[in-house]
Amino acid sequence: MKKNSYISFVFITLFSLSMQAQSKKWTLEECVTYAIQNNISIKQSELDSKTALIDKKGAIGNFLPSLNANASHSWNIGLNQDITTGLLQNQTTQFTSAGANVGVDIYKGLQNQNALRRANLSIVAAKYQLLKMQEDIALNVANAFLQVLFNKENLKVQKQQLAINEKQYTRSEELVKAGSIPRGDLLDIKATVALNNQNVIAADNALLISKLSLSQLLQLNDFENFDVVDDTDIRDENNIMAQTPNAIYDKALEGRTELKIAKTNLEIAQKDLEIAKGAFQPTLRGFYNFNSRVAYSDRIIGVIPNTLNPTSTVGFVEGTNQNVLSNNFSPVLGNPPPFFDQFSDNKGQSFGIQLSVPIFNGFSARNNVERSKVNLERFKIAVEQQDLDLQRNVFTAFTDAKGALNAYESAVVALEARQGAYDYAKEKYDVGLMNSFDFNQSQTLLTNAQSEIIRTKYDYIFKIKILEFYFGIPLIKY
């Protein structure tokens, strides 16, 4: 009995956890956080930041000495000079050589220093690019999130309207049987119900597509079970509309990421110009070289008398013409000296400094400087353009938000009026004082007013979020 109770408890627990997982509803903050952690574009931008760090390591490495080693071993096969006899003969000889060299820049026109400063600026620019990508993703997610909410409310409106019309159809059937209204009115309402069914299907498809779009931004696969919280309250919790456009613009100048990116790129262009100018200056480099070699040929370690030809004539005595004889000796060959002994005995070293003065290099240095100047001017213009764009965007966003608020307030008034007109039309229709066509017109106007209030509400909410972005209020803290 206890075992069955335990199994039942486990089953109920697992089933409840499964249902809870399927019924989870995402908040806007959860959506933005998840998208920033999983979005492919952000992952690519993070790789750019890592590349910038690698470039900095390379810039630091320019200050360090360069150390290179080399070694070779060769076989000479064929007709070679015998180093013991000086004669040419067919033989195989082997040689090993090894060496190392060290070099360090003493002065290079400050190019290494400027390259390091440029690398640091590139890291800053990469961080700004990553932040800008996060901000763009957050805005896109907020827009998609609000689109889901809009479609959910719109679906509710369409379903409510369908339910009302289905009840009205049932009521009309009774009125037709009682002879209160003509049968043609019943057919009109039947057509209206069919149209409402189409609207419900269209609204349901729009909701599914909006969920798909949001889940793709979040890199989720199970979009069919994906849902968001029904947070439909309209509010300006940061009271952003109390700010003036100039105040929002001044705040945006301090913190907008796109302006920081433009200014950082300008600083990078200035460093590129300084690096290019450094090519006109002399360079001074210190060096140290070490090398040695090893031979594997036999060597002469002594001599012995030549028994086959003990003497040889080397000259004559003047006056007597007497032969001058010399003893003939044959060399005694031995193995080559040990490897490390040769390596130590044959080593050589050299060190010094090398000065290089640029005189003429096919205009390459001059062209690089001119190209850097043009690039610098381009980024100066980009900063000015970004400033103008920011000002225009802020004032446009403020005007759009104000217009969206007015549109929403007007939609609220219109909905109240349409609701009153519909209630009055329904009363007249129920007592037979209004035909079905006019009643359907009143109903259609009410549905349109309900849809318009939903559209203007979420349009206003999104425009408020854009204004908050410019004012430096993020959706979440990264």
- Choice between 215 and 179, residue whose per-residue pLDDT is larger: 215
pLDDT classification of 192: cutoffs 50, 70, 90: confident
Q: Which residues contact 273 (CB under 8 A, 6 or more apart)?
A: 369, 372, 373, 375, 376
Pairing mode of beta strands 283-295, 299-305: unpaired
| Mean pLDDT for the stretch of residues 385-399 | 93
The residue to which tokens 């070293």 are assigned: 349
Structure tokens at 354: 């090398």
Q: What is the mean pLDDT of the chain?
A: 83
Distance CA 101, CA 354 (A): 14
| Mean pLDDT for the stretch of residues 367-389 | 94
Distance CA 254, CA 471 (A): 9
CA 351 to chain centre: 47
Structure tokens at 263: 């200014």
Q: Which residues contact 76 (CB under 8 A, 6 or more apart)?
A: 92, 93, 94, 95
What pLDDT score was predicted for residue 389? 93
- Work out the number of other CB atoms within 10 angstroms of the CB of residue 84: 12
Is the CB of residue 141 less than 8 Å from the CB of residue 34? no
What pLDDT score was predicted for residue 334? 62
The upper half-sphere exposure of residue 320, i.e. CA atoms within 13 Å in the direction of its Cβ, equals 4
| Mean pLDDT for the stretch of residues 284-308 | 78
Distance CA 43, CA 21 (A): 27
pLDDT classification of 20: cutoffs 50, 70, 90: very low
pLDDT classification of 114: cutoffs 50, 70, 90: very high
Q: What is the pLDDT of residues 449-474, one digit of tens each?
A: 988 988 898 889 888 888 888 888 87
What pLDDT score was predicted for residue 266? 96
> What CA–CA distances, in Å, run from 235 to 232, 239, 287, 450?
9, 9, 71, 19
Pairing mode of beta strands 299-305, 329-334: antiparallel
Distance CA 141, CA 26 (A): 12
| Mean pLDDT for the stretch of residues 146-169 | 86
Distance CA 445, CA 437 (A): 12
| Mean pLDDT for the stretch of residues 32-37 | 89
Which residues in 425-442 are b (16+ Cβ under 10 Å) and which e?
A: bbeebbeeebbbeebbeb
Q: Which residues contact 127 (CB under 8 A, 6 or more apart)?
A: 49
pLDDT classification of 29: cutoffs 50, 70, 90: confident
What pLDDT score was predicted for residue 88? 66
What pLDDT score was predicted for residue 21? 41
147-161, 228-242, 361-375: segment of lowest average pLDDT: 228-242
- Choice between 269 and 172, residue whose per-residue pLDDT is larger: 269
Return the amino acid letter for 228.
V
Residue 7: pLDDT over 50: no
Q: What is the pLDDT of residues 36-82, one digit of tens each?
A: 888 888 888 889 999 999 999 999 999 999 999 999 988 887 776 66
- Choice between 222 and 107, residue whose per-residue pLDDT is larger: 107
Distance CA 128, CA 259 (A): 10
16-25, 107-116, 170-179, 324-333: segment of lowest average pLDDT: 16-25
Of 248, 298, 232, 277, nearest in space to 108 by CA: 277
Distance CA 170, CA 162 (A): 12
Distance CA 421, CA 441 (A): 11
| Mean pLDDT for the stretch of residues 202-225 | 87
Q: What is the pLDDT of residues 167-178, one digit of tens each?
A: 877 877 877 777
3-state secondary structure 425-457: HHHHHHCCCCCHHHHHHHHHHHHHHHHHHHHHH
Distance CA 262, CA 4 (A): 69
Is the CB of residue 289 less than 8 Å from the CB of residue 97? no
pLDDT classification of 282: cutoffs 50, 70, 90: very high
Residue 285: pLDDT over 70: yes
Residue 313: pLDDT over 70: no
Helix (H, G, I), strand (E, B) or coil at 219: coil
Residue 228: pLDDT over 50: yes
What pLDDT score was predicted for residue 16? 43
pLDDT classification of 13: cutoffs 50, 70, 90: very low
pLDDT classification of 218: cutoffs 50, 70, 90: confident
- Whole-prediction pTM: 0.73
Distance CA 149, CA 214 (A): 11
Of 337, 308, 311, nearest in space to 324 by CA: 311
